[in-house]
């Protein structure tokens, strides 16, 4: 059961020293350091560290914003830690999932994230319904005109299906599917 530290700064001009000092004070066995924006999807050191964490390990960070891109990302990570039996400590935020209070804070954060997701979902559905009520057609535009044109070209010309497909901006498979539906005889 190792105690692993993770420190990150946004640019190479910033220093990791303060984070590393705090992590060492906590007594970590190994520190992973990374330079890069917290908003970046590519965080190879973080990914490597997450893959190397084992059952019973403890991950220690200086502050929550050093680890995650946002609340949803943080909660996803914390849920993964809980599933894998990995403890989590944020020194400056006083979160320690090895304690009852730390677990309570984690649970409250999870509840707020669920509520936020539900509110977003509710707003999206409400917006979609309002658009429908105002006559806005939702979804992909109908390809009926393109299909009718393709079938007509197929039936009245000798153009190869590939050319008709390119001309009508629909796939060859779609053309054949509709030719079969309408029982149009296929060329030999």
- pTM, two decimal places: 0.59
Distance in angstroms (rounded) separating the CA atoms of residues 84 and 53 = 9
Distance in angstroms (rounded) separating the CA atoms of residues 127 and 132 = 9
The answer on pLDDT for 16 being more than 80 is yes
- Catalytic residue set: 10
- Using one digit for the tens of pLDDT, what is the confidence trace for 127-164? 989 988 998 888 876 778 899 999 999 999 999 999 99
CA–CA distances in Å: residue 52 to residues 34, 37, 46, 60, 79: 16, 22, 10, 14, 17
- Size of the chain, expressed as the number of residues it contains: 188
Tokens 């400590």 correspond to: 89
**Correct CATH for 3-103 of 3.40.50.1390, 3.60.15.10, 3.10.310.70, 1.20.120.160:** 3.40.50.1390
Closest CA to 60 of 33, 26, 17: 26
Q: Domain spans of the chain?
A: 3-103, 144-181
């Amino acid at each position: 059961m190792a105690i692993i530290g993770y420190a990150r700064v946004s640019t190479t001009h910033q220093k990791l020293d303060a984070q590393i000092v705090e992590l060492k004070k906590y007594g970590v066995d190994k520190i992973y350091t990374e330079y890069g924006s917290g908003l970046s999807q590519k965080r190879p050191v973080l990914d490597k560290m997450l893959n190397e964490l084992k059952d019973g390990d403890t991950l220690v960070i200086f502050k929550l914003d050093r680890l995650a891109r946002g609340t949803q990302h943080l909660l996803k990570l914390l849920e993964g830690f809980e599933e894998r039996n990995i403890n989590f400590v944020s020194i400056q935020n006083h979160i320690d999932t090895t304690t009852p209070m730390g677990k309570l804070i984690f649970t409250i954060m999870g509840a707020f994230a669920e509520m936020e997701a539900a509110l977003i979902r509710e707003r999206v559905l409400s917006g979609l319904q309002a658009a429908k009520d105002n006559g806005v057609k939702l979804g992909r535009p109908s390809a009926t005109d393109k299909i009718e044109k393709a079938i007509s070209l197929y039936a009245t010309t000798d153009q190869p299906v590939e050319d008709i497909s390119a001309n009508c901006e629909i796939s060859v498979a779609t053309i054949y599917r509709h030719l079969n539906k309408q029982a149009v005889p296929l060329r030999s």
